[in-house]
């Protein structure tokens, strides 16, 4: 058995732990493992370093490291590959070339580690006959097929520590501090880090916000001598009668979200007369070592993926349904996004603590 493995989409702490577990589990069975660099690019680019044999040595001491030793890309996937023709960048379908190369290098199974975007690609490859097993990865926690994905716990941990730090400076200056967190169209990171970090306001995509409710909440705080306010906003939060804030679009990649903290910070400052500052925590939430929880989860995902290959359960992703890892068809895995349920215990806790959710 020869397993090919790749990592696609935005990186998440824990990717290297999956790669290590896949490699060691496969080697123990007497199999061979090859890593494809930069998503699928390493398979088709013709680069000398596009494919790397994963040996025990290659995966030694990497489980605790952030990022991915294989590299990753989140634009120009094989069905919409970016090429330049007559000075213009256009997209083209090179998926057949990927399939051809997969067989040419003697691949028997592909373990694709990624999020919803990577699974959409994997699903199309499965339809073309590639024996694929997916491993779910995302800091956003927005995959409904699995109870958890690695990377989320680390992102929440980093964000919570940042909010803790912002409290002291916000309070010293009696400022409104608005911090923007990642999560795309789901508010998991903002909600969890906001509640854990004692935010006073949390805005997230699942609850379109009325900015005047936020203004009133801040005015009440200041009037009762709690003269500062910590506002946590998910990058995908949107106003009641408005749109998500975006930075721009680029050919072959998803729209980039961002800019909401600055907009809200400026508005709240002008409207209340209190000084405000805003910041974007950004990629700090994705970088660095995974927490022990993410590390363990990632190792479990990797080992389970190899067991699924052994059992011939292709066309599935490994899903965490505690206490087990189970196969879920890729199609099912990408069907519905996991949003924060409005009746969830964490949302109710936020309300019980008096945190303003903008509604
Ligand atoms: O999906 C993970 C994620 O970090 C999102 O939370 C964020 O919107 C996006 O990726 C950022 O992508 P990029 O690294 O391309 O800016």
Question: What are the pocket residues of ligand 1 if the criterion is a CB atom closer than 6 Å to any ligand atom?
Answer: 10, 74, 138-140, 182-184, 235, 256-257, 286
**DSSP letter assigned to residue 239:** B
In the set 140, 142, 153, 294, the catalytic residue is: 140
Output the CA–CA distances (angstroms, integers) from residue 292 to 80, 275, 286, in the order listed: 36, 39, 15
Our answer to whether residue 210 is catalytic in this structure is no
- pLDDT 10s digits, 31-82: 999 999 999 999 987 667 899 999 999 999 999 999 999 999 987 689 988 8
Residue to probe by mutation, ligand 1, list 139, 182, 253, 338, most atoms within 8 Å of CB: 182
Between the CA atoms of 329, 114, 148 and 311, what dihedral angle is there, to the nearest 10 degrees? 40
* The pLDDT of residue 254 is above 90: no
277-291, pLDDT tens digit by residue? 999 999 999 999 999
| Residue 55 CA to ligand 1 centre (angstroms) | 30
CA of 182 to the centre of ligand 1 (A): 7
Ligand 1 center–CA 155 separation, angstroms: 12
Can you give the pLDDT at residue 351?
A: 98
- Inter-residue contact 132 to 40 (CB < 8 Å): no
Q: Whose CA is nearest to atom 16 of ligand 1?
A: 256
d(CA 203, CA 165): 19
Distance 238 CA to ligand 1 centre (A): 17
| Cβ atoms of 235 and 260 closer than 8 Å | yes
Ligand 1: nearest atom to the Cα of 236: 8
Q: What angle do CA 326, 296, 136 make, to 5 degrees?
A: 45
| Percentage of the chain exceeding pLDDT 70 | 99
Contact indicator for 53, 25 with CB cutoff of 8 Å:
no
Indicate the average pLDDT of the chain: 96
Whether the predicted model's global pTM rises above the 0.85 cut:
yes
Do residues 304 and 325 touch, judged by C-beta distance below 8 A?
yes
Q: Which helix (H) or strand (E) holds 148?
A: none
For residue 140, pLDDT beyond 80: yes
Q: Which H helix or E strand runs over 56?
A: none
How high is the pLDDT of residue 48? 73
Using an 8 Å Cβ cutoff, are 16 and 294 in contact? no
Rounded Cα gap, residues 300 and 332, in angstroms = 21
**Average confidence (pLDDT) over 313-320:** 98
């Amino acid at each position: 058995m020869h397993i090919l493995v790749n990592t696609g989409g935005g990186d998440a702490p824990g990717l290297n732990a999956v790669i290590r577990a896949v490699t060691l589990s496969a080697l123990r069975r007497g199999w061979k493992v090859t890593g494809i660099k930069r998503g699928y690019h390493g398979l088709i680019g013709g680069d000398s370093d596009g494919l790397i044999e994963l040996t025990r040595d290659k995966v030694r001491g990497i489980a605790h490291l952030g990022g991915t030793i294989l590299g990753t890309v989140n634009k120009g996937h094989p069905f919409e590959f970016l090429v330049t023709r007559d000075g213009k960048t256009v997209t083209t379908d090179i998926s057949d070339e990927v399939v051809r190369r997969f067989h040419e290098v003697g691949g028997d199974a592909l373990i694709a580690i990624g999020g919803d975007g990577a699974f959409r690609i994997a699903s199309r490859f499965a339809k073309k006959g590639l024996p694929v097993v997916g491993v779910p990865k995302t800091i956003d926690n927005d995959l409904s097929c699995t109870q958890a994905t690695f990377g989320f716990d680390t992102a929440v941990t980093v964000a919570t520590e940042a909010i803790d730090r912002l409290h002291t400076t916000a309070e010293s200056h009696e400022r409104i501090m608005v911090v923007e967190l990642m999560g795309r169209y789901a508010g998991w990171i903002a909600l969890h880090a906001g509640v854990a970090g004692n935010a006073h306001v949390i805005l997230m995509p699942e609850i379109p916000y009325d900015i005047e409710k936020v203004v009133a909440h801040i005015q009440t705080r200041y009037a009762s001598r709690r003269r500062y306010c910590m506002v946590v906003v998910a990058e995908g939060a949107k106003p009641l009668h408005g749109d998500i804030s975006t930075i721009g679009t680029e050919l072959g990649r998803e729209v980039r979200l961002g800019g909401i903290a600055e907009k809200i910070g400026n508005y709240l400052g002008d409207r209340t007369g209190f000084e405000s500052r805003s910041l974007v925590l950004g990629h700090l939430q994705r970088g660095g070592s995974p927490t022990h929880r993410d590390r363990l989860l990632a190792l479990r995902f990797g080992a389970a993926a190899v067991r699924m290959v052994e059992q011939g359960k292709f066309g599935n992703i490994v899903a965490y349904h505690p206490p087990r890892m189970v196969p879920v068809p890729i199609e099912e895995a990408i069907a519905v996004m996991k949003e924060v349920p409005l009746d969830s215990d964490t949302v109710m806790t936020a309300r019980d603590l008096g945190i303003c959710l903008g509604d």
